[in-house]
């Protein structure tokens, strides 16, 4: 008799299996070794990439967590063999506030185990615990962008010394499709260079950036012909309008706090594919006078000043 194992069964098994109490019990009873490698691989995938999370927000857990491929590969010989032969488990890296430079060696091994599959690299530094470790991990991040499909970089400190230009080995990021960057400080020339390197990817589908500095979009926007989702915060509306002229396939636009003094020149831009628009906070009213959105289906408005409502209504009427 053949028994079908469904996705629901796999998800239930993975939840049970990676509970510390259940894991210890299964190890003691030697039940783990009875699972075939094919089923183990699917369980590992479900544990590392929970199906309840949308693809765009999935990232590998911290390498020390119970459900990271690193931890899975250290349970027993069978689990190790299965994990090492399942390249997909090693494609997503998530690092927060690195404090150990030896982590670079682990991540390099991690990426080697991913083989030729595209990576997702998530690096978030809210507090620099070790400047040496942060610098080493950031260098690895920059040098690995060309291997990535998704990157997220959040930096609370933008010290120029964090990037050593002499030790960078850059290749064009042809694989990159989704990029998010958040800078808390005013970027310097080195971080402008990093911004340009990431957001000039020719196959970019989603671009999200948050920073307290006017970055020259004219250097990256010409590459945005495939862009479908754009999120910007604290930006010059004039620069943004110029950039949108290249976004003929844009479907979703999220903007907030576009700062400017007075009105901006009228330069009508048509976004033929745009269906979703989200605006909040201090968006320049005349910004809306430049947009033509014939396919618009949904608008989200939050904390918009009263003087902007007339411009928004005219946008919807057009």
Q: How many CB atoms lie within 10 A of CB 251?
A: 17
Tell me the β-bridge partners of 256.
233, 280
Task: Output the CA torsion 19→22→24→30 (10° steps).
Answer: -130
Cα–Cα distance, 2 to 184 (Å, whole number): 57
Give me 302's structure tokens: 């939050």
Q: How far apart are CA 258 and CA 288, in angstroms?
A: 11
pLDDT for the residue numbered 8: 47
pLDDT of residue 213: 62
Say what the pLDDT of residue 59 is.
43
- DSSP secondary structure letters along 91-127: SEEEEES---TTHHHHHHHHHHHTTTSPEEEEEEESS
Residue pair 177/204 in contact by the 8 Å Cβ criterion: yes
Cα-based angle 31, 32, 34 (whole degrees, multiple of 5): 70
* Cβ-Cβ contacts under 8 Å for 6 (sequence gap 6 or more): none
What's the angle, vertex CA 305, arms to CA 303 and CA 311, rounded to 5?
115
User: What's the pLDDT at 1?
Assistant: 33
**What pTM value is reported for the model?**
0.80
Each residue's pLDDT expressed in tens, for the chain with a length of 318 residues: 333 344 444 444 445 555 544 555 555 545 556 677 888 888 888 878 776 554 433 444 455 666 678 888 887 888 888 888 889 989 988 888 888 878 888 889 889 999 999 999 999 988 888 888 888 898 899 999 999 999 999 988 777 677 776 767 778 899 999 999 988 766 667 778 888 899 999 999 999 988 766 667 888 899 999 999 999 886 777 788 888 999 999 999 998 765 554 456 667 889 999 999 988 766 666 777 788 888 989 888 876 666 666 667 777 666
Collapse the DSSP code of 16 into the 3-class scheme (helix H, G, I; strand E, B; otherwise coil) and give the result.
helix
Residues β-bridged to residue 120: 92, 150
Could you tell me what percentage of the chain is helix, strand and coil, using 3-state DSSP and rounding each to the nearest 5?
Answer: 40, 15, 40
Q: Is the distance from CB of 88 to CB of 99 less than 8 angstroms?
A: no
Task: Give the pLDDT score at 31.
Answer: 58
Residue ranges per structural domain of the chain: 1-88, 91-215, 223-318
């Amino acid at each position: 008799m053949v028994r079908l194992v469904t996705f629901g069964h796999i998800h239930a098994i993975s939840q049970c299996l990676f509970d510390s109490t259940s894991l210890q019990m299964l190890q003691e009873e030697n039940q783990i070794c009875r699972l075939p490698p094919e089923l183990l691989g699917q369980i590992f995938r479900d544990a590392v990439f929970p199906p309840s999370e949308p693809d765009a927000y999935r990232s590998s857990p911290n390498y020390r967590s119970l459900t990271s491929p690193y931890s899975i590969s250290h349970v027993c010989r069978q689990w190790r063999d299965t994990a090492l032969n399942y390249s997909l488990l090693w494609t997503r890296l998530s690092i927060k506030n690195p404090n150990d430079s030896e982590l670079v060696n682990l991540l390099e091994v991690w990426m080697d185990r991913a083989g030729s599959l595209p990576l997702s690299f998530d690096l978030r530094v809210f507090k620099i615990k070790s400047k040496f470790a942060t610098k080493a991990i950031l260098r690895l991040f920059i040098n690995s962008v060309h291997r990535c499909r998704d990157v997220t970089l959040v930096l609370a400190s933008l010290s120029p010394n964090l990037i050593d230009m002499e030790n960078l080995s850059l290749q064009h990021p042809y694989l990159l499709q989704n990029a998010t960057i958040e800078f808390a400080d005013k970027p310097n020339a080195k971080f402008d260079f990093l911004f340009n390197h990431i957001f000039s990817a020719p196959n970019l589908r989603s671009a999200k950036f948050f920073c307290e500095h006017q970055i020259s979009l004219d250097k990256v926007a010409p590459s945005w012909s495939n862009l479908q989702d754009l999120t910007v915060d604290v930006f010059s509306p004039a620069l943004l309008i110029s950039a949108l002229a290249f976004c003929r396939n844009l479907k979703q636009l999220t903007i907030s706090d576009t700062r400017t003094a007075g009105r901006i020149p009228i330069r009508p831009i048509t976004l033929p594919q745009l269906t979703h628009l989200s605006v909040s906070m201090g968006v320049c009213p005349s910004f809306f006078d430049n947009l033509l959105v014939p396919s618009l289906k949904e608008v989200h408005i939050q904390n918009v000043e009263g003087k902007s409502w007339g411009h928004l209504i005219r946008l919807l009427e057009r």
